[in-house]
Amino acid sequence: MNKRTSTHLSSEDVNPMESEQPLGDLLSSWATDLRTTVVTDFEPAVVETMAGLAAETTLVSAGTLATAAGNTAGALTGGQTLSSVIASSMGKIAVSAALATSIATGGAVFGALPDPLQTSAADIAEIVGIELPRPDVRIDVDGAGEVVVELVDGVLHIVGLDARGNWEVSIKSETDTTVIVDFVSDTTTKTVTIVSDTVGEVNSTVETITGSVGSALEGSTAVDGGMETKTGDDAIKVEADGTGSTGQTANTPGADANVDAGVEADLNVEIITGFGD
Amino acid sequence: MDSLVEEAAAGSNSAWHKIVELLGPSIRGFARARGVSEPDELTQDVFLDAARSIGGFHGDWAGFRSWIFTIAYRRIADHHRRNARRPRLIFDDSAALRMPGGPRPEEEAVQRETIDELLAALHNLNQIERDVVLLRIIADLSSDEVAAVVGKSPGNVRVIQNRALSRMRKNLEKTCNELHHSTIAPVT
């Protein structure tokens, strides 16, 4: 039976919530319960095994495997095969036998290994100078959806596009090394740029443009850009739901329109409490 | 603590022993809360990944914690992506996959049920909100450290966290009120 770790919430954790609710807050209780339930100590034997493997892997990665890679890059002599070099270098590492066999038989080259093995294969093959396909790269686009790409022979491929809720997704451009995808909602456009570099790393950036530029107010008509308008006798109040753009202005005959999308968003953040530092 | 990282990078068994002891339970806990079916195996993979790359790591203990949870975060994402596109095994291989010394299946089932009940409070959060909350609570990372793990700015993480916690608080209060009303039945 695992022993439960004693847990506590630091003062940093509970501070913002104390200002609104007394100690014993539901959220604090929930957090403590969750941590106590899921964070349990390992048995000593498990710690021993994991630490031993990690220490050995560190040594192998730092020294023995590099030597083996050098040997392989030069020539496989004396009956050596790639698999035997890798297998002997990896020693007790659990994946080594399956990995070596798969590389020798071509399993890893065609991306047929389960992903953890594929990743290990790609890491090791990188050292010995063979390029293997890497597992898919998933890019989460801040709640709008996700893009999944893979890099095969230095060429980026889109494997999956998934738009959530009221978002729509479209491919803006696609070359061997760069993919640009747009996620568009009523009020926001998120442009994801995915680039592969010469060493096979895939990097992504997300640019967000919020609000509908040029939306105009006339009389009591609604404002574009996810905002809500409330009209009175001589004024129009516009409220944004946290994502409205700032700086919009509008002129309505006979009434002044003041658009300040940031006020509601800021207020929202202040009202909401958290563990936060 | 900083010397621990240096010693681990040099291949010290005792340093890795301490690191596994200190960080292993939180990594496994995070994996459990994120629904990983074999959290022990994933934790071991995280340490093996870290061991392979620690030579390239430069930083203090806090940086090391963020770094190792970044590995865990990516591993978990890979795990779910892999499971989403592969059919589930129809036979129960949990006994074969279980780490020696780990909880027995019946204990695991009870624990899983408790965890599921607790995680129900997260049901209307999106994935990044869940991750931020879980990393703060289970991994005990600061907002800045969470930002490094999930690849967002610290300010963005604070906003995500605040919104998530606000929604969760409402959920929990609603659930408590419902329970309260259902247990005090009106006399007819």
Burial of B93 (0-12, 13-18, 19+ CB in 10 A): exposed
- Tell me if residue B17 falls in helix, strand or coil: helix
Instruction: For residue A230, give the H/E element and its range.
Output: strand A227-231
Instruction: Compute the mean pLDDT over every residue in chain B, rounded to the nearest whole number.
Output: 81
Look at residue B26 and tell me whether its pLDDT is greater than 90.
yes
In tens, the pLDDT along A32-43 reads 888 888 898 888
In terms of Cα–Cα distance, which of A158, A142, A154, A226 is closest to A191? A142
The backbone torsions φ and ψ at residue A217, rounded to the nearest 5 degrees and listed phi first, read -100, 130
- The answer to whether A273 contacts B168, with C-beta atoms less than 8 Å apart, is no
Q: What is the pLDDT of residue B173?
A: 78
| Cβ atoms of residues B29 and A38 within 8 Å | yes
Mean pLDDT confidence for B9-14? 92
- Tell me if residue B11 falls in helix, strand or coil: coil
Q: What amino acid occupies position A17?
A: M
Who wins on pLDDT, A114 or B31? B31
Q: Is the dihedral of CA B15, B18, B21, B26 positive or negative?
A: negative
Whether B59 maps to a domain, the answer reads: yes
Considering CB atoms only, which of B9, B115, B165 is closest to A58?
Answer: B9
Count the neighbouring beta carbons within 10 Å of the beta carbon of residue A145. Answer: 21
Strands A235-240 and A255-259: parallel
State how far the alpha carbon of A43 is from the alpha carbons of A47, A93, B21, B46, in Å: 7, 21, 10, 18
Q: What is the pLDDT of residue A190?
A: 92
In terms of Cα–Cα distance, which of A263, A261, A262, A156 is closest to A201? A156
Considering CB atoms only, which of A10, A30, A93 is closest to B121?
Answer: A30
Q: What is the pLDDT of residue B88?
A: 43
Q: What is the pLDDT of residue A192?
A: 92
The conformation of residue A109, written as its DSSP 8-state character, comes to T
**Contact list, B115 vs chain A (CB under 8 Å):** 34, 37-38
Q: What is the pLDDT of residue B85?
A: 60
Confidence band for A133, pLDDT divided at 50, 70 and 90: very low
Instruction: For residue A162, give the H/E element and its range.
Output: strand A155-163
- The answer to whether B169 contacts A27, with C-beta atoms less than 8 Å apart, is yes
Instruction: For residue A194, give the H/E element and its range.
Output: strand A188-196
Considering CB atoms only, which of B26, B50, B118 is closest to A33?
Answer: B118
Instruction: Compute the mean pLDDT over every residue in chain A, rounded to the nearest whole number.
Output: 59
Look at residue B120 and tell me whether its pLDDT is greater than 90.
no
In tens, the pLDDT along B36-45 reads 888 898 999 9
Q: What is the pLDDT of residue B16?
A: 95
Confidence band for A134, pLDDT divided at 50, 70 and 90: low
Cα A69 to Cα A86: distance, rounded to the nearest angstrom: 8
Nearest C-alpha in A relative to B116: A34
Look at residue B69 and tell me whether its pLDDT is greater than 90.
yes
Q: What is the pLDDT of residue A258?
A: 43
Q: What is the pLDDT of residue A170?
A: 87
Cα A207 to Cα A71: distance, rounded to the nearest angstrom: 46
| Cβ atoms of residues A158 and A147 within 8 Å | yes
Confidence band for B164, pLDDT divided at 50, 70 and 90: confident
Burial of A4 (0-12, 13-18, 19+ CB in 10 A): middle
Whether residue B97 lies within 8 A of chain A, CB to CB, comes out as no
Of chain A, the end-to-end C-alpha distance in Å amounts to 36
Burial of B188 (0-12, 13-18, 19+ CB in 10 A): exposed
Confidence band for B70, pLDDT divided at 50, 70 and 90: very high
Domain housing B175: 2-183
Mean pLDDT confidence for B6-11? 92
Ranking A12-21, A106-115, A147-156 by mean pLDDT, the lowest is A12-21
Nearest C-alpha in B relative to A53: B48
Confidence band for B135, pLDDT divided at 50, 70 and 90: very high
Instruction: For residue A145, give the H/E element and its range.
Output: strand A145-152
Q: What is the pLDDT of residue B25?
A: 94
What angle, 0 to 180 degrees and rounded to 10, lies between the N-to-C axes of helices B61-85 and B143-150? Answer: 40
Whether residue B57 lies within 8 A of chain A, CB to CB, comes out as no
- The answer to whether B8 contacts A31, with C-beta atoms less than 8 Å apart, is no
Give a three-class secondary structure readout of A68-89. Answer: HHHHHHHCCCCCCCHHHHHHHH
Mean pLDDT confidence for B146-163? 89
Whether residue A15 lies within 8 A of chain B, CB to CB, comes out as no
Confidence band for B9, pLDDT divided at 50, 70 and 90: very high
Mean pLDDT confidence for B139-165? 89
Cα A251 to Cα A58: distance, rounded to the nearest angstrom: 67
Q: What is the pLDDT of residue B174?
A: 77
Burial of B158 (0-12, 13-18, 19+ CB in 10 A): buried
Burial of A173 (0-12, 13-18, 19+ CB in 10 A): exposed
Whether residue B48 lies within 8 A of chain A, CB to CB, comes out as yes
Chain B interface, best mutation among A38, A64, A192, A266, by max B CB count within 10 A: A38
**Contact list, A272 vs chain B (CB under 8 Å):** 162-163, 165-166
Who wins on pLDDT, B183 or B73? B73
Please name the residues between 17 and 36 in chain B that touch chain A, using a CB distance below 8 Å.
Answer: 17, 19-21, 24-26, 28-30, 32-33
Whether B58 maps to a domain, the answer reads: yes
Q: What is the pLDDT of residue A36?
A: 85
Look at residue A226 and tell me whether its pLDDT is greater than 90.
no
Who wins on pLDDT, A60 or A228? A60
Confidence band for A89, pLDDT divided at 50, 70 and 90: very low
Q: What amino acid occupies position A25?
A: D
Who wins on pLDDT, A242 or A51? A51
If one counts the domains in chain B, the total is 1
Mean pLDDT confidence for A70-77? 36
Whether residue A175 lies within 8 A of chain B, CB to CB, comes out as no
Q: What amino acid occupies position A15?
A: N
Mean pLDDT confidence for A106-133? 45
In tens, the pLDDT along B75-103 reads 998 888 877 665 544 333 444 344 445 55
- The answer to whether B168 contacts A27, with C-beta atoms less than 8 Å apart, is yes
In tens, the pLDDT along A244-269 reads 334 344 443 333 444 443 333 333 33
Q: What is the pLDDT of residue A236?
A: 43
Whether B103 maps to a domain, the answer reads: yes
Whether B188 maps to a domain, the answer reads: no
In tens, the pLDDT along A177-218 reads 888 999 999 889 999 999 887 666 788 889 998 875 444 333
Nearest chain A Cα distance for residue B168, angstroms? 8
Cα B73 to Cα B75: distance, rounded to the nearest angstrom: 6
What angle, 0 to 180 degrees and rounded to 10, lies between the N-to-C axes of helices A26-38 and B154-183? Answer: 100
Confidence band for B105, pLDDT divided at 50, 70 and 90: low
Q: Where are the domains of chain A?
A: 44-128, 137-210, 213-277
Residues 6+ apart with CB under 8 A from A204: A137, A139, A147, A192, A193, A194, A195
How is the beta sheet containing A188-196 ordered, strand by strand? A168-174, A178-184, A188-196, A202-210
Cα A169 to Cα A183: distance, rounded to the nearest angstrom: 4
ipTM of the complex: 0.79
Q: What is the pLDDT of residue A177?
A: 86
Cα A16 to Cα A25: distance, rounded to the nearest angstrom: 11
- Tell me if residue B129 falls in helix, strand or coil: helix
Share of chain B residues as helix, strand and coil, in percent rounded to the nearest 5? 75, 0, 25
- The answer to whether A27 contacts B52, with C-beta atoms less than 8 Å apart, is no
- The answer to whether A42 contacts B24, with C-beta atoms less than 8 Å apart, is yes
Q: What is the pLDDT of residue B2?
A: 73
Look at residue B29 and tell me whether its pLDDT is greater than 80.
yes
Residues 6+ apart with CB under 8 A from B100: A43, A45, A46, A49
